[in-house]
Amino acid sequence: MNPLIHNAANGGRFVRLTPGKRVLFLTKDPEIIRAQLRGELDLRMEDVKPEDLLDDINTDTMTPAWVCFRHRPEELALDAYAGLLDDQGKRVFETRDLINGNFEVIVSGHRKGTGSSRETAPQAERWSGVRLVIASSFAPIHERNNLNLGQLMGGYDVLSRLQAGKDIPLEELIGHHDPVTQVMLEAGGLFPFAAKFRAGDVKVPPPSTGARSMNIAEKILARQVVGGTPDQTVQPDDICLVNVDGGYSHEFTTAQVHHFLEQEYGADYEVVNPDKFAIFEDHLLYATGVERMRPFESQIQTLRDLQNDFQKHSGVRDYSAEDGVSPGICHEIAREEFVDPGDFIQATDSHTCMGGGSNALTWGVGATEYAALIHSGFTTVEVPESIRFELVGELDPGCTAKDVILEILNTYAKQEDTLNRVMEFGGPGLSSLPPDERATLCNMATECSARSGVCEGDRALAEWLVDHREGLTIEQVEAMFVFPDKGATYTGGIHTVDLGVIRPMVAEPGDPTYGKRIEELATVPIDIAYGGSCTAGKEDDFDFYARVLQDALDHGRKVADGVQMYVQYGSKTVRAYAQAKGYDAIFKAAGVTVIDPGCGACIGCGPGVSDNADQTTVSAINRNFNGRSGPGRLYLASPLTVAASAVMGHIASYRPGMFASATASSEA
């Protein structure tokens, strides 16, 4: 049980701060944080303005990639918040600072825990002694990971009263959660709750929601309800046990899954339906090629070894590297090979939502939740709200789906319209986007702090799936499609997005949320252009790169002097496609470095990362948190923009004929 929870004489429970323990305020001023860490300053909630607290603290900041090379939570805690840097690039938290500070409460601003689904972030806090997390709002996966660890969460008013010495009824902190989550928090986390469930001490009956029209997410969850009926319905906030169709983990996360399963269920643990679950070696394959990652080579090998142990023990699908080459990025291969329309998929990565492009409901979870569901075959879900985007019109030839999602981030995510909601995409404009582009929209739902993204299905998607799978027919695929009911409810509203007015966008360094049209951007010289990742390593993305570079070659241009351009395949299938199209010759002639499949620079573990803070990168990856892909400045952009910028030497949107005019201008 959480040590802040106490039993009252009347049989109830209350929360009380521990005498002698401290509260840490994560302010925008790093010197105030340092003073607290040194023990020179203790603040109260009334001393701090909410607007002075750090917003959008991402999980990369809480546990950077190199910290995640440790799979034991107590070791992760040693370098909690190692990614929080000051203006000079120096760490605000040194090793053991959070542990040694005697803190049991940590306070921040809006959208705590954005970014990767890595459960290592809340683990680092908990194993440093923190048991109450205060923020204005939480990113959905991060919030769930905290709940699974038994961490209490609350707002500023709660902390003010606790610091005033008042006891707060536990109900006030957990009463807004569903009854199952309340029991889980009282028990101390997911595994203690699971033990109560196995013992029959806790029951989760199917929702008793009456007949209603449902959206895509609700319909998929309704038919997965454990013990549900053929006409089962659900609605937002319903709590239910749902069967999970499949999932996957990768070498960044599998070691923890294996460790937790052995701890909870013993060395002879079993998993359900191993054919629909998988492990991938994709994130760290090229890590030792990056100078700053070489000191962690032995830790990385330990993660690989433990993943191999898990695969042999469990019998799940094996997508390990062969002869040093990965089959591909987990999200891309999953959509190519085993995510079907209508599936409910869970995996240990925040970009699991990419599977929504295939009309499936998919989202990322932490290692604790994944370990529990891969063992039992089901998980606990609070039915999320949805927001619908009705796409109309067609994109300008210089735009891609990346520009669409950057516009949505800048417009809707910035004001938290998408927060913790499923983003449903439909409308006639969706049919103008090929399946790879729809996957891009859903992939970056997690950057919107959404629960997931999901697209309606159509003939184009059916044809794509048949082309990538053996033994499927168009008719079989179309029979799997899930469409929203007429009159379905969208708590976040229905929003029309006119594709015709979208213009090439970038997200400025530091956060994907802050977009700007390239036409409004001052000239930004670049050093690196990177095309790849799950977001931008698909077949259509390589069509985009090749189109721009062939145009440049036709006009006597190639990658500009002083610029390094990299493209990295998302999977072996994508590589075979690109080579069959002759793209490898185009890339070679244009001066592009081509990399075998993997996550690479997107996770800061491969060619394409910046080497110093003075470098500027334009990249087609999905997030640009400080330090994620090297110490330099990183702009997010579409594949078309990345390739055009590489040729021009500065950030530039692509338009047919641009290189002819640029050549004529330079000759003049």
pLDDT 10s digits, 222-272: 999 999 999 999 999 999 999 999 999 999 999 999 999 999 999 999 999
Q: In what order do the strands lie in the sheet with 452-455?
A: 452-455, 422-426, 386-392, 494-498
Tell me, what's the pLDDT at 527?
98
Could you read off the pLDDT of 498-553 as tens digits, one per residue? Answer: 999 999 999 999 999 999 999 999 999 999 999 999 999 999 999 999 999 999 99
In a domain, 264, yes or no: no
In a domain, 226, yes or no: no
Tell which residue, 551, 538, 525, 537, has the closest CA to residue 618: 525
Instruction: Tell me, yes or no, whether 443 and 360 share the same domain.
Output: no
Residues 332 and 372: their CA atoms lie apart, in Å, by 24
Tell me, what's the pLDDT at 664?
52
Instruction: Tell me, yes or no, whether 603 and 460 share the same domain.
Output: no
Split at pLDDT 50, 70, 90, the class of 45 is: very high
Residue type, 245: D
Tell me, what's the pLDDT at 288?
77
Instruction: Tell me, yes or no, whether 646 and 519 share the same domain.
Output: yes
In a domain, 236, yes or no: no
Say how far residue 60 (Cα) sits from the centre of its chain.
11
Residues 432 and 426: their CA atoms lie apart, in Å, by 11
Instruction: Tell me, yes or no, whether 323 and 417 share the same domain.
Output: no
Instruction: Tell me, yes or no, whether 495 and 421 share the same domain.
Output: yes
Tell me, what's the pLDDT at 668?
42
Could you read off the pLDDT of 416-429 as tens digits, one per residue? Answer: 999 999 999 999 99
C-beta contacts of 298-302 below 8 A and 24+ residues apart: 299/69, 299/70, 300/69, 300/251, 302/69, 302/71, 302/255
Tell me, what's the pLDDT at 665?
52
Instruction: Tell me, yes or no, whether 10 and 140 share the same domain.
Output: yes
Tell me, what's the pLDDT at 662?
64
Between helices 330-337 and 572-580, what is the axis angle to 10°? 80
Tell me, what's the pLDDT at 292?
81
Split at pLDDT 50, 70, 90, the class of 363 is: very high
In a domain, 555, yes or no: yes
Instruction: Tell me, yes or no, whether 598 and 534 share the same domain.
Output: yes
Among residues 318, 343, 374, the one where a domain terminates is: 374
Tokens, residue 144: 């769930």
Contact 400, 544 (CB under 8 A): yes
Lowest mean pLDDT among 76-85, 174-183, 423-432, 473-482: 174-183
Number of H helices, E strands in the chain: 25, 25
Report the CATH number at residue 426.
3.40.1060.10
Answer whether residue 28 shows pLDDT above 50. yes
Tokens, residue 433: 């986007």
Residues 12 and 356: their CA atoms lie apart, in Å, by 43
Residues 125 and 152: their CA atoms lie apart, in Å, by 12
Residue type, 150: G
Q: Which domain holds residue 175?
A: 5-198
Cα torsion 565, 292, 36, 138: sign: positive
Tell me, what's the pLDDT at 488?
98
Please compute the mean of the pLDDT values over residues 90-102 and round it to a whole number: 98
Tell me, what's the pLDDT at 663?
57
Tell me, what's the pLDDT at 638?
98
Contact 445, 418 (CB under 8 A): yes
Cα torsion 364, 370, 373, 379: sign: negative
Please compute the mean of the pLDDT values over residues 476-503 and round it to a whole number: 98
Residue type, 440: T
Report the CATH number at residue 97.
3.20.19.10
Residue type, 652: A
- Please identify which residue in the block is written with the tokens 């090629």: 289
Query: Distances in Å between the alpha carbon of 74 and those of 38, 96, 120, 215, 536?
Result: 22, 11, 10, 42, 35
Q: In what order do the strands lie in the sheet with 528-531?
A: 515-517, 505-507, 633-636, 616-619, 528-531, 564-568, 592-595
Instruction: Tell me, yes or no, whether 597 and 639 share the same domain.
Output: yes
Give the percent of the chain with pLDDT over 70.
99
Instruction: Tell me, yes or no, whether 445 and 528 share the same domain.
Output: no
Answer whether residue 177 shows pLDDT above 90. no
Could you read off the pLDDT of 142-165 as tens digits, one per residue? Answer: 999 999 999 999 999 999 999 999
Instruction: Tell me, yes or no, whether 250 and 165 share the same domain.
Output: no
Instruction: Tell me, yes or no, whether 312 and 420 share the same domain.
Output: no
Number of domains the chain contains: 4
640-661: burial string, b at 16+ Cβ within 10 Å, e else: bbbbbbbbbbbbbbbeeebbee
Residues 515 and 623: their CA atoms lie apart, in Å, by 12
Residue type, 193: F
0.85 exceeded by the pTM?
yes
Among residues 374, 393, 422, the one where a domain terminates is: 374
Residues 640 and 399: their CA atoms lie apart, in Å, by 7
Please compute the mean of the pLDDT values over residues 338-359 and round it to a whole number: 97
In a domain, 37, yes or no: yes
- Please identify which residue in the block is written with the tokens 């990767």: 116
80 by DSSP, 3-state: which? coil
Report the CATH number at residue 296.
3.30.499.10
Query: Distances in Å between the alpha carbon of 302 and those of 69, 116, 345, 455?
Result: 9, 22, 27, 38
Instruction: Tell me, yes or no, whether 488 and 583 share the same domain.
Output: no
In a domain, 279, yes or no: yes
Split at pLDDT 50, 70, 90, the class of 291 is: confident
Please compute the mean of the pLDDT values over residues 308-313 and round it to a whole number: 97
Helices assigned H by DSSP within 81-119:
97-100
Q: In what order do the strands lie in the sheet with 344-347?
A: 317-319, 277-280, 246-250, 344-347, 361-364
Residue type, 196: K
> DSSP states of 216-243 as a string?
HHHHHHHTTBTT--TT----TT-EEEEE
In a domain, 84, yes or no: yes
Tokens, residue 469: 């799978």
Residue type, 59: T
Tell me, what's the pLDDT at 194?
83
Task: Outline where DSSP puts E strands in 81-175.
Answer: 103-107, 132-134, 152-154, 168-169
Cβ-proximal residues to 102 (8 Å cutoff; 6+ apart), any chain: 20, 21, 22, 129
Split at pLDDT 50, 70, 90, the class of 357 is: very high
Tell me, what's the pLDDT at 146?
94
In a domain, 494, yes or no: yes
Residues 604 and 610: their CA atoms lie apart, in Å, by 9
Tokens, residue 38: 């040194």
Please compute the mean of the pLDDT values over residues 124-130 and round it to a whole number: 97
SS3 content of the chain, % helix, strand, coil (to 5): 40, 20, 40
Among residues 335, 356, 374, the one where a domain terminates is: 374
Answer whether residue 666 shows pLDDT above 70. no
Mean pLDDT of the chain: 94
- Please identify which residue in the block is written with the tokens 């999970």: 244
Residue type, 615: Q
Residues 607 and 474: their CA atoms lie apart, in Å, by 39
Answer whether residue 369 shows pLDDT above 90. yes
Strand partners, 239: 382
Please compute the mean of the pLDDT values over residues 40-61 and round it to a whole number: 96
H or E segment to which residue 337 belongs: helix 330-337
Tokens, residue 550: 């062939």
